[in-house]
Amino acid sequence: MMRSEPRALQLNEHGQLKHFLTLDGLDKTILTEILDRAESFLSMGEQSVKKVPLLRGKTVVNLFFENSTRTRTTFELAAKRLSADVINLNIETSATSKGESLLDTLKNLEAMQSDMFIVRHSDSGAAHFIAEHCTPNVAIINAGDGRHAHPTQAMLDMLTIRRHKGGFEGLKIAIVGDILHSRVARSQLQALTTLGVSDVRLVGPKTLVPSFFAEMGATICHDLEAGLKDVDVVVMLRLQKERMKGGLLPSESEFYRLYGLTEETLAWAKPDAIVMHPGPINRGVEISSEVADGKHSVILNQVTNGIAVRMAVMSMAMSGQLQSAESSVAGDDK
Amino acid sequence: MKLRIQNGRLIDPSQGIDAVTELFVDNQKIVAIGDAPEGFDDAEVVDASGQWVLPGLVDLAVSLREPGLTQKGNIATEGRAAVAGGVTTLVCAPDTRPIVDTPAVAALIQDKADDAGMANVFPLGALTQGLEGAQLSNMVALTDAGCVALSNHRHPMASTKVLVRALEYAATHDLLVVFHPDETSLSEGGCAHEGLVSTMHGLPGIPEEAETIALMRDLLLVQKTGVRAHFARLSCAKSVEMIADAKASGLDVTADVAVHNLLLNDQVLNRFDGHYHVLPPLRSDEDRLTLIEGIKAGVITAICSDHQPHEKMAKIAPFAATEPGMANIEILLPLAMQLTDEGDLDFLTLLTCLTSGPAACFGLEAGSLSVGSFADFILFDSTARWTWSSENRKTKGHNSPYLGEEFVGRVMATYISGQRVYQVV
Amino acid sequence: MKLDLERSLAAMREQLASYCEKKKIEDAIVVGIHTGGVWVAEHLMSAVPTTEPLATLDITFYRDDFTKAGLNPKVNQTLLPAIEDRHVILVDDVLMSGRTIRAAMNEIFDFGRPASITLAILYDLGQHELPIAADIVGEQLTLNPDQRVKLTGPQPLGFSVINTD
């Protein structure tokens, strides 16, 4: 009955990715491989022909239990650039029969002989659950599960950082805003720690930055100036409007006053600091329009990098699945 | 019918006995220990060589799922699971459908239990009608119908005022109230102990204050109203301190803990395995160790299985979407004995908390092999190695992380009122 | 076994020049397949009547054994000019099964429809598995099953036959 840990679940017997569920347990070598591969797809994106036949004949299902047009679109584009056939499914879940409908949906999709599920779900661990209950040979890519993980977003952020900063050693990075509910922040923190960044600051009020994050290798700052002081990278998180209701914050304006990124507050960071945001942006809530559109902002680069990272992860997981299925020896290809 | 149980090692903490001796049963009751009374020459002999003769276990927290939730379990299946686990007396939860808020439902459960001929079953009555926390139940009628105590289970009260009234009313009639301390505004939406593990894995947390704030309020109201009180399923270190302080200040309260809260901590959640989704949640190791200290110190005097069988689908979902609870009654004793393996607890203390301890909490005549008691006892092979599996399980529930695991120590036979109701074949 | 690389390259240049003349190929695009093909192609540029710089092709994403062998961790950049109606001289170091050339041609056709493709190979090892043959061959080699051609480069470029066990 014992379930395997995510880290064991997502690697095949050769130590290659066969699912992509979380960054927890993935070492620097694999993360670097993802980034390197994404770079090669990125250069491909600059060509007139943006499509390669890697996943030709494969069926990729975008299985979104939580609606997100942006993330779904980038996965769709990535899959299409790999020549896969893509189906988009948006599934509304009723709170009462979540488990049943999820499993039933899976069984149906399996019967359609899909090769890869891109999964987004509001429950932490949902991608892991699906990976465990799916037939073998279907690769599961986590496109965000509850508050747990959003590994492709974190990796596209890592690619963005590497392309702008050349590497990770010695960087100072601030992640600002609603850390509590953020799967992006959790995955970023894991990626940064694994890639060798020792100064990661989580910035926000106590209601949004639980103290337990300090035990995960981050420094907690409740003051924006201390958090942004001399950083190389500022990551602003999206503030969901419903956070005001639960008493986590008094108002948007008070949050903006204390933690909003403006040209004035950005001046605390290094002069060449880059500003990132997983999107969609709430202008005037967590970030000013001047900064979002300004010279420090790499927000649109993130989107471009996102397609390349997703192509990288999808091709790696597909290859890992197929090699797990048939461990055959490759002949000389000449 | 007369029974003579020979050659076994008889251990009964209620009498301070631990010796190889003989147990004599006549007309459903224990009539002697040691030397044979007259007229036992033709008694049926049970050879308990190499086995321990123990009082039948008393379990204060069992969900039988009947009436209404029979896809998860029923009185016959869960009764069989209970005796297979050596439990001869159990208290069942009021959260059936319909809820145990009328004498008819209480009577139905007991009738079905009698028909099943398995463990002695004592229902808990609902403290409020429909467990809705608003209108008091017919507490006296429920008690007359066999309810051993009243509880609102884990359902919240509409207001503290209703709670005070309910306690005052119960106190008027000297009824026992069972508290599941939980401030629902803090625990709502949570599925795991609020700590590093839940934070890392993004599982919505239940802070320990959800339990301790409610516990402090409840203790104050117990003191004010003078109601007889039992606190169920403690999970936090601070709760142990608070119960200890209350007892020290002269408040006559008792407390129990679920066996899994003594064995497991929140580290097991890193697999997102819904089998570890329980309420109250598995907490930190510090909490776990303090609960064990609470048992050693006599603050907590009962260990229960908190048996909550579920159908398979209930656990096949992402962690937070699974239904909480484990179904471990069949392995209660070998599972609890893992605590003695680690040297955390001595066996006598452990056995007390599984027999006379819980019986005393609820004033039940059970959990003892004293002369004059009903002959509820078990034969236990402390060295038997066996695997509890989906195939040989008796419970209807599919939900235990321990299914498929090997255990040392097995209940070989269970007797209730001198009748053998279970035996390993 | 040491191979006479210079002699083979010289043979290729000679064949290439006369081939282009005979076929009236002008302003061809020389495409080297990463990695060895690019190195070989650099040595052929002088023999080809063209003003175009050397183009490069990485066929990693077009391989037919991706599901078996996995992805090559290092992918080089494909740098192709507009290829529509142009003569392409495709260069690789070794021709064995022909699968690399198949992948390379697929990739080229994704970029456009060339007027022609000429295949120039340094060492043709035979053992073809596809109906693909080279137009220009530096040297025909026959290897034992346990032998492989090993290349070193780019400066100095060197090829040798090694035994694998």
Classify C5 as helix, strand or coil.
Answer: helix
Number of domains in chain C: 1
At residue A137, the pLDDT reads 85
Residue of C nearest to A313 (CA): C71
Residue at A220: amino acid letter? I
Start and end residues for every CATH 2.30.40.10 domain found in chain B: 2-53+374-388+402-423
Q: Does C144 touch chain A (CB under 8 A)?
A: no
- Pairing assessment for the beta strands C55-57 and C29-33 based on DSSP bridges: parallel
Q: Other CB atoms closer than 10 Å to residue A53's CB: what's the count?
A: 18
pLDDT in tens, A199-257: 999 999 999 999 999 999 999 999 999 999 999 999 999 998 777 777 899 999 999 99
Mapped onto helix, strand or coil, the DSSP state of residue B221 is: helix
Phi and psi, residue A234, nearest 5°: -115, 120
Greatest CA separation for chain A: 66
Q: CA of C115 to nearest chain A CA: how many angstroms apart?
A: 19
pLDDT at B157: 95
Best of C56, C64, C71, C107 to disrupt the A interface by mutation (most A CBs within 10 Å)?
Answer: C71
Model pTM?
Answer: 0.89
User: Does the B56-362 domain belong in CATH 3.40.50.300?
Assistant: no
Q: What is the CATH number of domain A6-149+304-325?
A: 3.40.50.1370
B285 within 8 A of B265, measured Cβ to Cβ: yes
- The single-letter code of the amino acid at B418 is G
For residue B92, the cross-strand partners are B62, B123
Q: Which residues of C touch A40 (CB under 8 A)?
A: 58, 60, 75-77
Structure tokens at B79: 């009764």
Scanning every residue of chain A, which has its alpha carbon at the shortest distance from the alpha carbon of C107? Answer: A52
All residues at 6 or more sequence positions from B101 whose CB lies less than 8 Å from its CB, including other chains:
B94, B125, B126, B128, B129, B130, B131, B137, B138, B142
- Written as tens digits, the pLDDT of chain C (165 aa) is 667 888 999 999 999 999 999 999 888 999 999 889 999 999 999 988 889 999 999 888 888 776 666 666 667 778 888 888 999 999 999 999 999 999 999 999 988 899 999 999 999 998 899 999 999 999 998 888 888 888 887 878 888 888 876
Residues of A in Cβ contact (< 8 Å) with B404: 1
Q: What's the CA gap between C153 and C158, in Å, rounded?
A: 6
Per-residue pLDDT, C126: 87
Annotated catalytic residue, options B218, B266, B306, B376: B306
Asked if the model's pLDDT at residue A124 lies above 60, the reply is yes
Give chain B positions within 8 Å (CB) of A186.
200, 202
B306 is catalytic: yes
A147 → closest Cβ in B202, B270, B316 = B202
A 10 A CB-CB count for B169 gives 19
Are A6-149+304-325 and A151-299 equal in CATH topology? yes
Mean of pLDDT over chain A? 89
Question: Which domain range does residue C96 map to?
Answer: 5-163
B389 in reach of chain A (CB within 8 A): no
Domain residue extents for chain A:
6-149+304-325, 151-299
Residues of A in contact with B272 (CB under 8 A): 3, 6, 124-125, 128-129
Which chains are within 8 Å of A by 3+ CB pairs? B, C
Q: Do C110 and A51 touch (CB under 8 A)?
A: yes
Tell me the shortest Cα–Cα distance from B275 to chain A, in angstroms.
9
Note the pLDDT tens digit of each residue in B108-138.
999 999 998 889 999 999 999 999 999 999 9
Mutate to test the interface with B, among A63, A101, A123 (most CBs of B within 10 A): A123
- Residues with Cβ within 8 Å of B210's Cβ and at least 6 positions away in sequence, in order, are B182, B183, B184, B186, B187, B190
Helices B75-84 + B103-116 axis angle, to 10 = 60
Listed residue (B26, B148, B62, B57) closest to B358, CA to CA: B57
CA–CA distance, B131 with B122 (Å, rounded to integer): 18
Classify each residue of A309-329 as buried b or exposed e, where b means 16 or more C-beta atoms within 10 Å of its C-beta.
bbbbbbbbbbbbbbbbeeeee
Q: Which fold has domain A151-299?
A: Rossmann fold (3.40.50)
Which amino acid does the sequence have at B262?
L
- In the chain, the amino acid numbered C33 is I
CATH of the domain at C150: 3.40.50.2020
Smallest CA–CA distance, residue C99 to chain A, in Å, is: 6
Closest residue, chain C, to A318 (C-alpha)? C67
Residue type, A94: S
Pairing of strands B149-151, B205-206: unpaired
Q: How many CA atoms lie within 13 A of C9 on its CB side?
A: 18
Is the Cβ pair A212, B401 closer than 8 Å?
A: no
Touching, B vs A (3+ Cβ pairs under 8 A): yes
ipTM surpasses 0.85: yes
Closest CB to A1: pick one of B275, B314, B321.
B275
pLDDT tens for the 425 residues of chain B, in order: 899 999 999 999 999 999 999 999 999 999 999 999 998 988 999 999 999 999 999 999 999 999 999 999 999 999 999 999 999 999 999 999 999 999 999 999 999 999 988 899 999 999 999 999 999 999 999 999 999 999 999 999 999 999 999 999 999 999 999 999 999 999 999 999 999 999 999 999 999 999 999 999 999 999 999 999 999 999 999 999 999 999 999 999 999 999 999 999 999 998 899 999 999 999 999 999 999 999 999 999 999 999 999 999 899 889 999 999 999 999 999 999 999 987 779 999 999 999 999 999 999 999 999 999 999 999 999 999 999 999 999 999 999 999 999 999 999 999 999 999 999 98
3-state secondary structure of A256: helix
Compute the distance between CA of residue C59 and CA of residue C75 in angstroms, rounded to an integer: 9
Q: What is the pLDDT of residue A67?
A: 81
Fold (topology level) of B2-53+374-388+402-423 = Urease, subunit C; domain 1 (2.30.40)
Which of B185, B201, B286 to probe by mutation at the A interface, max A CB count within 10 Å?
A: B201
- Structure token digits, residue A140: 């599961």
Phi, psi of B28 (to 5 degrees): 75, -10
**Cβ atoms within 10 Å, residue B393:** 19
The CB-side HSE value for B263 (13 A sphere, CA atoms) comes to: 20
CA-to-CA dists, residue B342 to B256, B262, B285, B331, B376, angstroms: 21, 12, 14, 17, 29
Per-residue confidence (pLDDT) for residue A325, from 0 to 100: 66
Burial call A193-216: b when 16+ CB within 10 Å, e when fewer: ebbebeebbbbbbeebbbebbeee
pLDDT for A40: 86
C with B: 3 or more CB pairs under 8 Å?
Answer: no
Residues 6+ apart with CB under 8 A from B70: none
Which pair of structure tokens corresponds to residue C46? 């002088």
Indicate whether A329 pLDDT > 50. Answer: no
**DSSP label at residue B396:** S
Shortest CA gap C70–chain A (Å): 5
Alpha carbons A153 and A278: distance in angstroms, whole number: 7
Q: For residue C11, how many other CB atoms are within 10 A of its CB?
A: 16
3-class DSSP assignment, residue A82 = coil
- DSSP per residue, A171-199: -EEEEES--TT-HHHHHHHHHHHHTT--E
Distance CA C84, CA A49 (A): 13
Please tell me whether the peptide bond between B281 and the residue prior to it is cis, using omega within 30 degrees of 0. no
Check CB contact of B204 with chain A, cutoff 8 Å. Answer: yes
Phi and psi, residue A88, nearest 5°: -105, 130
Query: Mean pLDDT throughout A144-163?
Result: 97
E strands, B73-175, are 87-92, 120-126, 149-151
The backbone region for C32, taken as left when phi is positive above 0, alpha when psi lies in -120 to 50, beta otherwise, is beta
Strand partners of residue B176: B228
Separation CA A93–CA B306 (nearest Å):
30
Cβ count near C161 (within 10 Å)? 15
Instruction: Tell me whether C83 touches chain A (CB under 8 Å).
Output: no
Nearest CA-CA distance, residue A273 and chain C, Å: 29
